[in-house]
Chains A and B, each alone.
Chain A
């Protein structure tokens, strides 16, 4: 798989979260990883990944449907990229074929020129300032010569990438939330109101403690997923749990840091909002909590696995 171990990548993602910057690991590198997993050459800096599982968290959901058109395929769909290069020349498009006449070939990834007929890119900005695109595809032609990697179903490879991405996203959120908690701890000890530091109030102490508890819980889940991965065991369920708990609880931590900082903390030249926004964006990617709950429900109780499930 990757060049670095999952543990090393988690540490790097956490550091990126602390810096409050969009991580090159949990988002940008996924594109390279998809190419690697499919035995294709690394994509250049002007390549964007079009695979809606990055937003939905469901590895089988491509967001793009491939319809057979003679020997070629016609790709149609609408997908939000989660990170876009400044100038996009090439799209790596994951698509599912409509299972007609036994031609279900699972998920395939094609290289498509960004200026190909039927491609429309709509620029957008995420709340943390990340530049993204909504990619609209209408009957875009692709054939086997455009395929990335040998002709085979990419679902297992993409599924593993998604598990890794979830752990990395949780680690990055943890870095941001921990940094916000540390900044809040420092602030409440130096900020004097009503004649005493804010930290002299027990309600403030407890709020800081709650922030630390949430961070500790997510850290334990991330470590667990990493340990399973290092032992060579499947870690999809652990990854999904870490991502869901981080998505639900860590925005509370960064929001609490804002509340403790008062008005001064709301300014853009202060770091708090970057941590809060990064946590919010990552909570919504790879499936927002609503989608993650449904995914976890199937991981906990696969259909037919258990009576009464």
Chain B
């Protein structure tokens, strides 16, 4: 969406992430980069409501390439694979700022696939796949979920059958973000049909242009599409296996935790509250101040919870429960912000626009409130439904 108000000109808020000086300098640097890259004159003409990012593939690839040139895209990937070698909190700050600026740089190959490959892949796989991710040259998707295996990955039915020179992959994968534009995906399939998925499921890399890969785009409630992949006798080479044979269960558990620092959610929440504060001031709506201040206080709680998750991640300590708490808090806060905005603004907030319309409607936040109110349904469902997060939290308290 085109905006007159550049987010970087907003005055400093009393509620901020607590960053050490070197990380704060990095944040300032990427803020400048992202606000220049995402300026209305740059995004104009590149809107694509059918993609989750709201932007076309040309813009997305170019932005990722430029971010990679400056070392931002893979800031926390080890230096031996071309990354910045910084702690995970640096990547988290990148996610926050990318979300705040609506930049198509959140579901990147690095975010979705690098951690699984780096933690479980062979040296050959790391050398082959990670450097192109770091350079922003490839797009990856993750295709774990199936129609009957959503929250319950133990119900996966896809199979990979061992043959002389590799594997033959069959099955259906659902709710895949960005599969229509991706070059590669990570998937999981049963490799021991007689064992439970916990003991008989393996992870693979799949070339999405390989024969036997079929792809359908399905429109979501907010107009962008998710992918459904069908694998029909897809021949995988022997080195497509990632990690241990039958070992995908453990690998998935650790990979999903990495996705969940919560910073993108907090970035979107911050952006909405900044925009709503600006609206309330300009529209002279003193009655909006109380509800917006309360949401800002809840955002502060989100920041402080995230501080803890990032400290644990940087110390390479497990933080499953802490991550679950941030996930539930941040995703449900996003829903409350969107609903509160609709309640306060009223009818004009029901006018919908995709994020990057060349001619956005002349209403408060230019159609973003209606967009958000539909968009924020899915974070509470995806990346481990919030019900599963609550299970994790209850178990950690010994309540089970």
B150, B221, B287, B339: the one contacting A268 at CB < 8 Å is B221
Q: Which B72-113 residues have C-beta < 8 A from chain A?
A: none
Q: Could you tell me the distance between the alpha carbons of A291 and B283 in the complex, rounded to whole angstroms?
A: 14
Q: Report yes or no: B381 in contact with A259, Cβ–Cβ below 8 A.
A: yes
Number of A-B contacts (CB under 8 A): 132
Query: With A and B bound together, what is the CA distance between A80 and B361 in angstroms?
Result: 11
Interface size class of A (residues with CB under 8 A): 35 or more
> Which chain B residues border A255 with CB–CB below 8 Å?
335, 377
Contact between B378 and A127 (Cβ–Cβ < 8 Å)?
no
CA distance A118 to B243 in the complex (A): 69
Give the interface segment out of B5-13, B206-214, B344-352.
B344-352
Stretch at the interface among A67-75, A87-95, A176-184, A282-290: A282-290
CB of A273 within 8 A of chain B?
yes
Stretch at the interface among B135-143, B151-159, B178-186, B262-270: B151-159
**Interchain CB contact under 8 A, B347 and A268:** no
Contact B346 A124 (CB under 8 A): no
**B346 contacts A194, C-beta separation under 8 Å:** no
Partner of B348, one of A55, A125, A276: A55
Out of A125, A128, A263, A289, which one reaches B378, CB within 8 Å? Answer: A263
Cα of A257 to Cα of B373 in the assembled complex, Å = 15
Most buried by A among B152, B346, B351, B381: B346
CB within 8 A of B342: which of A266, A283, A287?
A: A283
- Asked if A108 is an interface residue, CB under 8 A from chain B, the answer is no
Taking the complex as formed, is B145 at the interface, i.e. its CB lies under 8 A from any CB of chain A? yes
CA distance in complex: A125, B223 (Å): 13
Q: Is residue B242 contacting chain A, with contact meaning CB distance below 8 A?
A: no
**Is A251 at the interface (CB under 8 A from chain B)?**
yes
Contact: A285 with B350, CB < 8 Å?
Answer: yes
- Least CB distance from A128 to B in Å reads 8
Q: Which residue of chain A lies nearest to B218 when distances are taken between CB atoms in the complex?
A: A267
Q: Which residues of B are found within 8 Å of A269, using beta-carbon distances?
A: 218-219
A residues in contact with B390, CB < 8 Å: 203
What residues of chain B lie closer than 8 Å to A258, measured between beta carbons?
Answer: 377, 381
A145 at the interface (CB under 8 A from B): no
The answer to the question of B386 belonging to the interface, with a C-beta cut-off of 8 Å to chain A, is yes
Q: How far is the CB of A24 from chain B (nearest CB, A)?
A: 18
Contact of A266 with B221 in the complex, beta carbons under 8 Å: yes
Is A280 in contact with B350, judged by CB distance below 8 angstroms? yes
Contact B342 A280 (CB under 8 A): yes
Tell whether B382 is near chain A: CB-to-CB under 8 Å: yes
How many Å from the CB of B394 to the closest CB on chain A?
A: 10
How far is A292 from B26 in the complex, measured between Cα atoms in Å? 46
Q: Which residue of A lies closest to B370 (CB)?
A: A127
With A284-B349, A288-B346, A291-B346 given, is the CB distance from A267 to B219 under 8 Å? yes
Contact of B152 among A127, A128, A193, A290 (CB under 8 A): A193
**Which chain B residue has the least Cβ–Cβ distance from A126?**
B350
Nearest neighbor of A55 in chain B, beta-carbon distance? B347
With both chains docked as a complex, state the minimum distance between the C-beta of A246 and any C-beta of chain B, in angstroms: 13
Nearest-Cβ distance from residue A276 to partner chain B, whole angstroms: 8
Tell yes or no: A132 within 8 A of B by CB. Answer: yes
Tell whether A233 is near chain B: CB-to-CB under 8 Å: no
Complex contact B374–A281 (CB within 8 A): no
Interface residue B45 (Cβ < 8 Å from any Cβ of A): no
Taken together as a complex, chains A and B put the C-alpha atoms of A288 and B348 apart, in Å, by: 10
Cβ-defined contact, B348 with A268, below 8 A: no
Q: Which of A124, A192, A203, A276 contacts B363 (CB 8 A)?
A: A124
- Check A193–B219 contact: CB distance below 8 A: no
In this assembly, does A82 line the interface, its C-beta being within 8 Å of a C-beta of chain B?
yes
* Contact pick for B151, options A80, A262, A283, A289, CB 8 Å: A262
A 164-207 binary contact with B (CB < 8 Å = 1; else 0): 00000000000000000000000000001110000000010000
Tell me whether A266 and B377 are in contact (CB under 8 A): yes
B374→A263 contact, CB < 8 A: no
Contact between A288 and B220, CB atoms less than 8 A apart: no
Closest CB-CB distance, A74 to chain B, in whole Å? 22
Nearest CB on B from A245, distance (A): 13
Q: Check A288–B349 contact: CB distance below 8 A.
A: yes
Which has the most chain B C-beta neighbours within 10 Å: A82, A127, A134, A273?
A127
A271 to chain B, nearest CB (A): 11
Q: How far is the CA of A194 from the CA of B152 in the complex (A)?
A: 6
Given the complex of chains A and B, what is the CA–CA distance between A263 and B221 in angstroms? Answer: 11
Instruction: Check if A268 sits within 8 Å of B220, measured CB to CB.
Output: yes
Asked whether A193 lies within 8 Å of B155 as measured between CB atoms, the reply is yes
Q: How far is the CA of A264 from the CA of B288 in the complex (A)?
A: 35
A111 an interface residue at 8 Å Cβ cutoff? no
Chain B residues with a Cβ under 8 A of chain A = 145, 147-148, 150-152, 154-155, 174-175, 218-221, 223, 226, 287-288, 335, 339, 342-353, 361-363, 367, 370-371, 373-374, 377-378, 380-382, 385-387, 390
16 contacts between A and B (CB under 8 A): A54-B347, A80-B347, A122-B361, A124-B367, A134-B362, A193-B151, A194-B151, A247-B343, A264-B147, A264-B150, A266-B221, A268-B220, A276-B221, A285-B346, A288-B343, A290-B344
